[in-house]
Chains A and B, each alone.
Chain A
Amino acid sequence: MTISRRDVLLGATATAALLPIAARADTPDVAIGIIYPFSGSSAQIGVDAQKAFETAADIINKNYDFDLPLARGEGLSGLGGAKVRLVFADHQADPQKGRAEAERLITQEKVCAIIGTYQSAVAVTVSQTCERYQIPFISADNSSPSLHRRGLKFYFRAAPHDEMFSKAMFDFFDDMKKKGTKIDTLSLFHEDTIFGTDSGNAQLKLAGERGYKVVADIKYRANSPSLSAEVQQIKAANADVLMPSSYTTDGILLVKTMGELGYKPPAIVAQDAGFSEQALYDAVGDKLEGVISRGSFSLDLAQKRPMVGKINAMFKEKSGKDFNDYSSRQFMGLIVMADAINRAKSTDGDKIREALVATDMPGEVTIMPWKRVKFDEMGQNNDADPVLLQYIGGKFVTIYPQQAAVAQPMWPMK
C-alpha cells in the first residue's frame, strides 16, 4: 500500500539510469511522450503510471524471453536496435496544460508519439494537438466513449471504453438471470466529471434496452466532504445491484458511509476506477468481500500465461504494487505504440500511423485477456474484451466472461 520515499527515490534513480544506457547506443533513440497528472489530486495515478511505462520500456530496451512484441532482443529491431526513451510531462488535470505539454514534447523533445492521459478532458486536447502535428496518440487508459468518435485520424485506443465495459456488465446480468438470480432493479451512483457522466449515461441506456429498472440514478459531486445524503437515497431505493462509477477517494467514502448507514446491497458491480485501486481495498477491503468490478486486466491470466506474472513482478519491484486495471493498460499502450514504430521502421508520424492502422496483435502476446489488438476506422480496438473480477479473500478472481473465468460468481456478496 505504501510507497516509501526511498522507493520513489529509487524509481527516480532508475529513470536516470536508463538515460545513459540509451545514450550509449549507436542509433539515435526513439523519444515517446508520456503525459500524465504528476501533481494535484490525481498525482498518485501519474506516479504509478510512470512505473508502468518504465517497466514496458525496460522490456523493450533489454532482452527478455517473453512472448511479447519487442521483448526479445534489445531495442527496436526495425530501427537498428534503437532504444525507446520516455519523456514525461505533467498536465495537472488541466486540458490547456495538457495541450501545451503535448506541443512542447512534439516540437522541443521531438517525440514521435504520445501516450496519455488518465483524465478524459485532457485526452481531448492532447489528441487534438497530436492530430494537428500528425503525431499518433494512444489513449492508454481513457475510457470515455466520446473520445474516438471525433473523427481524428491519429487517435488510437487499444483498451475498451465505458460502453464496452458496461455492455459486459449487462451481458453478465442477463447470464445470471438465466441461471435464476433475481436482478430486476439497479441503482446507478456516479460522479459528476466526464468519467462518471459518460459511464452513467451508458449504463442508463443499456438498462433501458435490456429491460432493467433503474430505481436510483444518483450523480454526486466528486470529492464531496460527505456522501451521507446520497447513500441514504440509494439505501431507500434498495436495488438488486448497486453500480458505482467512482474514483478512489469517493469510493472509500462511499463504502464507509454505506457501512455507517447500515446499507448492504445484494451486489455491487463497479465501473473500475477507484474499485480497482489497492488504496481502496487497503482502506475498506473488509467491507467489500464479493464486490465485482469490471476490468481489462486480471492476474489470473498468469496461470495460463506465465509471463504475466513475471512482468507483474517487475512492475511490483518498481512500484510496490500489483498491476491494476490502469497500470496494465498503460503498459500495453507503450507496447502497442513501440510495436507500430518498429514495424514502421521510421519515426515519421504518418508512417507510424499506417503501422498502427495495420496492427493485428493476437491477444496471446499481450498481458491482457483481449482477443487481439486491431483498430477500427475510428482508432478503437473492438476486440479488447473486458472482464469482470470479483474480490474474494483479499484478491481479485475473474468470473466473467466464461472463457476467462476461473471461479463461479458469488452472489449475493457477503
Chain B
Amino acid sequence: MDTSFAQRRRRDLIIAACCAVAAALVPLFVKDVYIQNIMVLTLMYAALSQSWNILSGYCGQISLGHALYFGLGAYTTALLFTKFGVLPWFGMFAGGVISALIAMALGYPCFRLRGHYFVIATIVIAETALLLFQNWDWAGAALGIDIPVRRDSWLYFQFTRSKLPYFYFALALACVAWLVTWWLEDSKWGFWWRAVKDNPDAAESLGVVVFDSKMGAAAVSAFLTAVGGSFYAQFVSYIDPESVMGFQFSLLMALPAVLGGIGTLWGPVLGAVVLIPLTELTRSYIGGSGRGVDLIVYGALIVAISLARPEGLIGLFSRGHPKEPAR
C-alpha cells in the first residue's frame, strides 16, 4: 500500500511540474493583456485557495475570514513602501510574518470553537479588522493607499503595461502553495489531520499535538495568503479596505477549493481554472447590460456544481484511484 501512495505522490509531482512548465509557456502564445490579466487572477486565486485549503480543507477549520490575512499582507506592503520607502519584497515578507503571528494569536482561543461557531468567529474577526482599517486615518482610512508609480523594475515590483512579471510571480506563488500542500500531505501533521477527520474522538487522545499542528497550519496558511495580498497590492497598485478585506473576498478565496475539491491537492487549482475565467468573462461580456444576468449565471453555476459534485470537480478525474491515500 505504501508503495502505491508513494507512487501517486511521485506522479502528482510530475504532473504538477508539467502543468507549471506548460503554464509558463502560455504567455508566449497569448499576447492579449486582458486574457493575461485573467490568467494572473486565476493563478492568484489558485494560490490563495490552496493556502486556504491547508487550514480549512486538510485541517478542517473552516475559515471565512481569510480576507483579514490578505488585507494585512496588502496593507503592510503598501504602508511600508509609501510611508517608509521599504521595498515591496521586504514588505511582502513582513506582511506574511505579521499575518502568521496574528493567525496564531487568534487561533489560540478560536480553535476551541466548533463548526459554525468557528466559522462565524472568523467572519466577525475579519469584519472587525475591516472596520478598524476603514477608520484608521494614518492608513488612509476609506481613501485607501494609492501606490506611487516608479519606474518599471523588479526592485519595486512595478510594471506599467507588461503583465508577464506578475504572471510569473503568481505562477511561482501558486507552485509554492501547491508544494507546501504536497509536502504537508505526507508529513506527520497531515497524518494527524486525516486521523482526526476519520475519527473525531481520536482528536481527544492526540490532544496537544493536534492543537499545535492546527496552529502551524493557521500560520502557514496566513503567511501564504498575506503574500498573495502583497502581490495584489503591487498588481493593482491601489488598495482600500473594502477591496482587500471585504467579506466577499473571504468567500472568493474559499470558492475555488470548495468547487474544485476541498481538502484535495488539485481541487483549488482546478476550481480556480474553471471559476475565475468564468467570473471575469461573464462580467465583461454580459455584465454591461446592467440587468444582473452575469450574477444569475455565476450563482446558478455554484449551486449546480456544489449539488452535482459535492466532492468537487476533482471527482470527475478520480474515478480510477481512491481519493484518500490508502495507508
Chain A directly contacts chain B within the complex, with at least one CB pair under 8 Å: yes
Interface stretch of the complex, out of B170-178, B206-214, B217-225, B284-292:
B284-292
| A96 close to B294 (CB less than 8 A) | no
| A193 close to B37 (CB less than 8 A) | no
Complex Cα distance, B231 from A96, in Å, reads 13
Specify the chain A residue showing the minimal Cβ separation from B239. Answer: A95
| A192 close to B135 (CB less than 8 A) | yes
| A198 close to B143 (CB less than 8 A) | yes
Report B6-56 residues with CB < 8 Å from chain A CB.
32-34, 37-38, 41
Specify the chain B residue showing the minimal Cβ separation from A49. Answer: B290
Given A39-B290, A89-B284, A107-B32, does the pair A95, B37 have CB atoms closer than 8 Å?
no
Number of interface residues of B (CB under 8 A): 36
Q: What's the nearest-Cβ distance from chain B to residue A255, in Å?
A: 23
Given A196-B142, A198-B143, does the pair A107, B289 have CB atoms closer than 8 Å?
no
| A193 close to B242 (CB less than 8 A) | yes
Complex Cα distance, B236 from A132, in Å, reads 12
Task: Give B223-252 as 1s and 0s: 1 = Cβ < 8 Å from A's Cβ atoms.
Answer: 000000000100011111011000000000
| A132 close to B37 (CB less than 8 A) | no
Chain A residues closer than 8 Å to B239, beta-carbon distance = 95
Chain A residues closer than 8 Å to B289, beta-carbon distance = 12, 38
Complex Cα distance, B235 from A132, in Å, reads 13
Complex Cα distance, B239 from A38, in Å, reads 21
| B134 close to A192 (CB less than 8 A) | yes
Given A108-B34, A128-B238, A219-B135, does the pair A146, B294 have CB atoms closer than 8 Å?
no
Chain A residues closer than 8 Å to B131, beta-carbon distance = 221
Given A100-B37, A104-B284, does the pair A150, B146 have CB atoms closer than 8 Å?
yes
B144: Cβ under 8 A from any A Cβ: yes
Chain B residues closer than 8 Å to A96, beta-carbon distance = 232, 236, 243
Q: What's the nearest-Cβ distance from chain B to residue A257, in Å?
A: 21
| A132 close to B161 (CB less than 8 A) | yes
Report A285-322 residues with CB < 8 Å from chain B CB.
none
Contact pick for B290, options A50, A101, A108, A219, CB 8 Å:
A50
Report A325-373 residues with CB < 8 Å from chain B CB.
none
| B143 close to A95 (CB less than 8 A) | no
Q: What's the nearest-Cβ distance from chain A to residue B99, in Å?
A: 20
A88: Cβ under 8 A from any B Cβ: yes
| A38 close to B34 (CB less than 8 A) | no
Complex Cα distance, B146 from A194, in Å, reads 13
Contact pick for B238, options A46, A47, A125, CB 8 Å:
A125
| A121 close to B287 (CB less than 8 A) | no
Given A95-B243, A100-B280, does the pair A90, B144 have CB atoms closer than 8 Å?
no
B326: Cβ under 8 A from any A Cβ: no
B295: Cβ under 8 A from any A Cβ: yes
A235: Cβ under 8 A from any B Cβ: no
Which label, helix, strand, loop or mixed, suits the secondary structure of the B interface?
helix
Given A8-B291, A132-B160, does the pair A108, B32 have CB atoms closer than 8 Å?
yes
Complex Cα distance, B283 from A370, in Å, reads 36
Specify the chain B residue showing the minimal Cβ separation from A109. Answer: B34
Contact pick for B236, options A92, A99, A146, CB 8 Å:
A99
Report B140-168 residues with CB < 8 Å from chain A CB.
141-144, 146, 149, 160-161
A94: Cβ under 8 A from any B Cβ: yes
Given A38-B290, A125-B236, A128-B238, does the pair A103, B37 have CB atoms closer than 8 Å?
yes
Q: What's the nearest-Cβ distance from chain A to residue B9, in Å?
A: 36
Given A90-B294, A192-B142, A193-B142, does the pair A124, B238 have CB atoms closer than 8 Å?
yes
Chain B residues closer than 8 Å to A125, beta-carbon distance = 236-238
| B283 close to A43 (CB less than 8 A) | no
Complex Cα distance, B240 from A57, in Å, reads 34
| A89 close to B34 (CB less than 8 A) | no
Report A113-149 residues with CB < 8 Å from chain B CB.
121, 124-125, 128, 131-133, 144, 146
Report A23-80 residues with CB < 8 Å from chain B CB.
38-39, 43, 46-47, 50
Task: Give A180-206 as 1s and 0s: 1 = Cβ < 8 Å from B's Cβ atoms.
Answer: 000000000000111011100000000
Specify the chain B residue showing the minimal Cβ separation from A34. Answer: B288
Contact pick for B161, options A90, A92, A133, CB 8 Å:
A133
Task: Give A200-230 as 1s and 0s: 1 = Cβ < 8 Å from B's Cβ atoms.
Answer: 0000000000000000000101000000000
Chain A residues closer than 8 Å to B34, beta-carbon distance = 100, 103-104, 107-108
Report A250-297 residues with CB < 8 Å from chain B CB.
none
A167: Cβ under 8 A from any B Cβ: no
Contact pick for A194, options B32, B144, B236, B280, CB 8 Å:
B144
| B290 close to A121 (CB less than 8 A) | no
Q: What's the nearest-Cβ distance from chain A to residue B240, in Å?
A: 5
| B146 close to A38 (CB less than 8 A) | no
Chain A residues closer than 8 Å to B291, beta-carbon distance = 8, 12, 38
| A90 close to B143 (CB less than 8 A) | no
| A121 close to B240 (CB less than 8 A) | yes
Chain B residues closer than 8 Å to A101, beta-carbon distance = 284
Chain A residues closer than 8 Å to B38, beta-carbon distance = 100
Specify the chain B residue showing the minimal Cβ separation from A107. Answer: B33
Chain A residues closer than 8 Å to B141, beta-carbon distance = 192, 197
| B294 close to A39 (CB less than 8 A) | yes
Q: What's the nearest-Cβ distance from chain B to residue A104, in Å?
A: 4
| A103 close to B33 (CB less than 8 A) | yes
Chain B residues closer than 8 Å to A89, beta-carbon distance = 284, 287-288
| B144 close to A124 (CB less than 8 A) | yes
Chain B residues closer than 8 Å to A8, beta-carbon distance = 290-291
Complex Cα distance, B141 from A137, in Å, reads 25
Complex Cα distance, B280 from A254, in Å, reads 36
Chain A residues closer than 8 Å to B288, beta-carbon distance = 38, 87-90
Given A95-B240, A96-B236, A100-B34, does the pair A43, B290 have CB atoms closer than 8 Å?
yes
Complex Cα distance, B238 from A46, in Å, reads 22
Q: Known contacts A43-B292, A103-B33, A198-B143; can you find 7 more A-B pairs with CB under 8 A?
A: A38-B288, A100-B34, A101-B284, A128-B149, A133-B161, A193-B242, A194-B144
Cross-chain pairs A/B with CB under 8 angstroms, 26 sampled: A8-B291, A38-B290, A39-B294, A39-B295, A43-B290, A50-B290, A90-B283, A90-B287, A90-B288, A92-B287, A95-B144, A95-B243, A100-B34, A100-B37, A100-B41, A100-B280, A103-B33, A107-B32, A107-B33, A128-B146, A128-B237, A131-B149, A150-B146, A192-B134, A194-B142, A194-B144
**Which 9 A/B pairs are nearest by Cβ-Cβ distance?**
A90-B287, A38-B290, A88-B288, A104-B34, A47-B290, A197-B142, A132-B160, A124-B238, A107-B33
Binding site for B on A (CB under 8 A): 8, 12, 38-39, 43, 46-47, 50, 87-90, 92, 94-97, 99-101, 103-104, 107-108, 121, 124-125, 128, 131-133, 144, 146, 150, 192-194, 196-198, 219, 221
